């Protein structure tokens, strides 16, 4: 299967939904490439479901059942699910791209679930979503900000907390050992949530490479959709032209 013919599976960021990929779809689908953006359990059209990593991997598997290997792209929470999918079902993944990952660790990260719970209880989901988007997205387009704000405001507090704990505890769900498939770790050049050193180190542990999306922050696919798509195309086109080992 050629690079451009390989389907692209898109897994959204924490508190997001399939709809948050909207601004990037035209760029990512150039040349008629088939795209599939999913709602992870507890998000978007699946808002009534609980979130678990196992359940999310199952949703991703079902999206391309029987169609062969796909190029998988995950951002934030979606990156955790994408990595778990690649480790558990490598035959279903042609390449893996992790964006805005890994999450920070240390004392601040350890406090984050409790701080998030307190903020949700104090402010409610809608105000929490507004504050999170205002502190996270760099895009000047209000439509991009509204997409993530709307998705997060429609996500139940328990899902936000369960998926946050899963993302922060990603090592319990994955092994982060070298993968026998092409892997790229993408980081927004202005991402204040993921350190450059952490992204580079993860790429090295997975046997992959790291790259930067110019101008983007933590949610690169919403901040800079065109630059994000270009970075992804460079990676995927390189797979198609790389000489065999």
Number of domains in the chain: 1
Please, is 205 exposed, middle or buried when counting C-beta atoms within 10 Å of its C-beta (0-12, 13-18, 19+)? Answer: middle
Residue 196 lies in a domain: yes
**If pLDDT is split at 50, 70 and 90, which confidence band does 64 have?**
confident
The predicted-structure confidence for 135-169, as pLDDT tens digits, reads as follows 999 999 999 999 999 999 999 999 999 999 999 99
Q: At CA 13, angle to CA 8 and CA 14, rounded to 5? A: 150
Q: Is the pLDDT of residue 2 over 50?
A: no
pLDDT attached to residue 4? 58
Residue 3 lies in a domain: no
Residue 47 lies in a domain: yes
Residue 128 lies in a domain: yes
User: Which stretches within the chain are classed as H helix?
Assistant: 22-28, 53-63, 77-88, 107-136, 142-153, 157-168, 196-206, 220-223, 225-241
Residue 226 lies in a domain: yes
The stretch 54-65 carries a mean pLDDT of: 92
The stretch 197-201 carries a mean pLDDT of: 97
* Calpha distance 196→189 (Å, rounded): 8
Backbone dihedral region for residue 32 (phi beyond 0: left; psi -120 to 50: alpha; all else: beta) = left
pLDDT attached to residue 3? 52
Long-range contacts of 209-212 (CB under 8 A, 24+ apart): 209/183, 209/184, 209/185, 210/184, 210/185, 210/186, 211/184, 211/185, 211/186, 211/187, 211/235, 212/186, 212/187, 212/188
More reliable by pLDDT, 185 or 64:
185
111 token code pair: 């406090």
The stretch 68-84 carries a mean pLDDT of: 96
The stretch 103-108 carries a mean pLDDT of: 89
* Calpha distance 44→49 (Å, rounded): 10
pLDDT attached to residue 243? 39
Q: Is the pLDDT of residue 245 over 90?
A: no
190: domain CATH number? 3.40.50.1820
**If pLDDT is split at 50, 70 and 90, which confidence band does 77 have?**
very high
DSSP 23-79: HHHHHHTTTT--EEEEPPTTSGGGTTSPP-HHHHHHHHHHHTTTS--EEEEEETHHH
Q: Is the pLDDT of residue 113 over 80?
A: yes
pLDDT attached to residue 204? 97
Residue 2 lies in a domain: no
Q: Is the pLDDT of residue 31 over 90?
A: no
Q: Is the pLDDT of residue 235 over 80?
A: yes
**If pLDDT is split at 50, 70 and 90, which confidence band does 176 have?**
confident
The stretch 80-98 carries a mean pLDDT of: 97
Q: Residue 40 sits in which domain range?
A: 8-241
pLDDT attached to residue 240? 64
Residue 138 lies in a domain: yes
Residue 25 lies in a domain: yes
Q: Is the pLDDT of residue 242 over 70?
A: no
The predicted-structure confidence for 12-21, as pLDDT tens digits, reads as follows 999 999 999 9
Answer whether 0.85 is exceeded by the pTM. yes
The residues, ordered by sequence, that sit 6+ positions from 32 with a Cβ below 8 Å of its Cβ are 4
More reliable by pLDDT, 171 or 243:
171
């Amino acid at each position: 299967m050629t690079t451009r013919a390989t389907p692209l599976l898109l897994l959204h960021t924490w508190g997001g939904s399939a709809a948050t990929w909207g601004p990037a779809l035209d760029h990512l689908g150039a040349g008629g490439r088939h795209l599939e953006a999913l709602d992870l359990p507890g998000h978007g059209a699946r808002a009534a479901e609980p979130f678990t990593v196992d359940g999310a991997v199952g949703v991703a598997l079902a999206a391309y059942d029987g169609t062969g290997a796909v190029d998988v792209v995950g951002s934030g929470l979606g990156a955790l699910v994408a990595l778990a999918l690649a480790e558990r079902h490598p035959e279903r993944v042609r390449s893996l791209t992790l964006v805005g990952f890994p999450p920070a660790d240390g004392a601040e990260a350890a406090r984050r679930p409790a701080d998030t719970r307190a903020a949700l209880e104090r402010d409610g989901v809608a105000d929490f979503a507004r504050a999170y988007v205002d502190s996270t997205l760099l895009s000047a387009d209000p439509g991009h900000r509204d997409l993530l704000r709307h998705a997060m405001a429609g996500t139940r507090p328990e899902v936000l907390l369960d998926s946050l704990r899963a993302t922060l505890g990603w090592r319990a769900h994955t092994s982060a050992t070298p993968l026998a498939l092409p892997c790229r770790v993408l980081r927004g050049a202005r991402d204040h949530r993921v350190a450059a050193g952490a992204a580079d180190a993860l790429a090295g542990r997975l046997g992959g490479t790291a790259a930067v999306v110019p101008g983007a922050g933590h949610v690169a696919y919403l901040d800079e959709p065109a630059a994000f798509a270009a970075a992804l195309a460079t990676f995927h086109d390189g797979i198609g032209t790389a000489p065999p080992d």
